[in-house]
Structure 1
Amino acid sequence: MAHDTLAGVFSPVLTPFDKNLAIDANLFVKFCSWILTQGAGLAVFGTNSEANSLTVGEKLELLARLIEAELPPDKMMPGTGACALPDAVALCQAAAKAKTAAVLMLPPFYYKSVSEDGLFAFYAEAIQRVGDQALKVCLYHIPQVSGVPIPLTLIERLVKAYPSTVVGIKDSGGDFVYSKALLEALPSFRTFCGSEKFLLETMRHGGAGCISAMANIHPGAIVNLYETRTTPEADAKQQALNQMRKAYESVAMIPALKRTVAEYGKAPAFKTMRPPLTELADEDWDGLKTNLNDLSLKMPNLDKILA
């Protein structure tokens, strides 16, 4: 997928584990297939994928399994950010070889208050070591989690140095002021909001789409808003999406999303979390389930595809 067509809705796909905390790769591939049937792409190894609880080897194996299953690489945006430069390079190389739409790349996140020059050097070194024109990088701005913001000045430097490689960003900062500054300063840059609650506003300012945790449970509804964003019904659809997200704001997001998939998809393995994350408590699920019933959540054919 050329960067000028890199757009739409992507899901940071949840990762199922078995009782021994090993990845259930077959179930993972099936779940990715379901998300694709709903019109969304696959931002595998994202925050809600528990990416930083996965080894580089596990990520490489899962990406290979997706390709072997003939899922379309132009619908994939695997996370390749890492604290260790060689790890980031290995993941980016695999994604470029597979010709994925792009990669989603966190900054190195252990050291805090690093200089802009240091961050630039990390991204530049990774791009140069990969040395593949097929590599398309979407930066990942989530400073409340990573502790390392990606300032506009750094983005401008990277775009100037690598205009055909550094092509977009996922903005999960939660502050639309930052997104708007990006959209105004770099109108051809592919800016994705990190929550569907900003989808309509992002698109109205020239954005590329949305990469959202909620695309694990109702990707079709988010895709529908993306596709009908210029219609009179768009604002009402945005409000409906906001209500669904609100249902998850009082519980731990990743365990709640995984429990939802486990229950609606009849796939208990999805409940399992790798420590230090823990499963959603039954009482929290009971309250969430009531809200989801009130909101008429539908996950069409999920149980059939995961069977």
Structure 2
Amino acid sequence: MTKVALRVFIFLLVSAVIYLSIAGFLVVSDQQREPGQEKKSLAFDELAIDGKGLPELKTFPARDGNQLSYRFYPAQSEKVLVLLHGSGWHSRYLLPLAEFISSANLAKVYTPDLRGHGHSPVRRGDIDYIDQLVDDLADFVAQVRNENPDSLLIIGGHSSGGGLSLRFAESEYGQQADAYMLLSPWLQYNAPTIRPDGSWATPYTRRIIGLSMLNHVGIDWFNDRPVIKFDMPEEVRDGTETLSYSYRLNRGYAPRDYKKALGSIKQPLLVVVGTKDSLFLAEKFEPVISQYTEADVELVDGVTHLGVVVNPAVQPVVKKWLRAFAR
């Protein structure tokens, strides 16, 4: 080895040690903590819905052999909607909107409990690898397609469920959907739609940065570490909530790049946001989304972040859109 080559090798080795040391320090130095009271900004009382008419849970096999849960709302319709829940909860709270769509025969509705969530997940708040939620959704879509071979298939999601819908759209499976419906969707932590003073989550920012650095060089050994906690009041908990996410679940629940994800959607797209959303700036969605794709962006006056799913004021918007498009 020449002196120049030796110097280059030493420089690279020292750089790698420094890089890994910084990443490791960020991961271990960010201690777990409880969400602060100032983070409480969701109208959780809206989750107190009557569970009457809630379909029983069914299961479908994912590619790894695990049985994952979902609910089904039948309808006399040639449209099918797979509707994804947001962070911390599961398919139960989607009942009001799913039941309305079903009973009006606008679409058959499937509401899966995403891996790591629901009544009895294998590991609450964790998955095996970052893109497992997308793979699970692809497996579920395959089953739904098999059951409804001639139907238009819509992928929809609320909040982080909207983020997962976007991640699905930018994946190899994205063109399997005939349309997308996003309800107060999570785009990205630094998107213009984020309200600076609104959050119900406490991220471990240094740990996220450190783990991102490690993943950038192919080290994913620590992706099971928790990186975010959610503040859900005791009075609305029933033991089926998910209050903490691992790095890999948190990453997999959002698009890689919301700009590219939106740009990949060539199908009909509906985006609905309430003007009283405490997490997102409703007026920012149309100018942001219109830069990358065509979409019907509807703002519903007086509706909150959770209300965009449970408030009847949203139903006419969804009804009009579902009736408007066909093949």
Provide TM-score, normalisation by structure 2.
0.33
| TM, length-normalised to structure 1 | 0.34
Greater percentage in strand:
2
Higher helix share: 1
Structure 1 or 2, whichever has the larger Rg, is 2
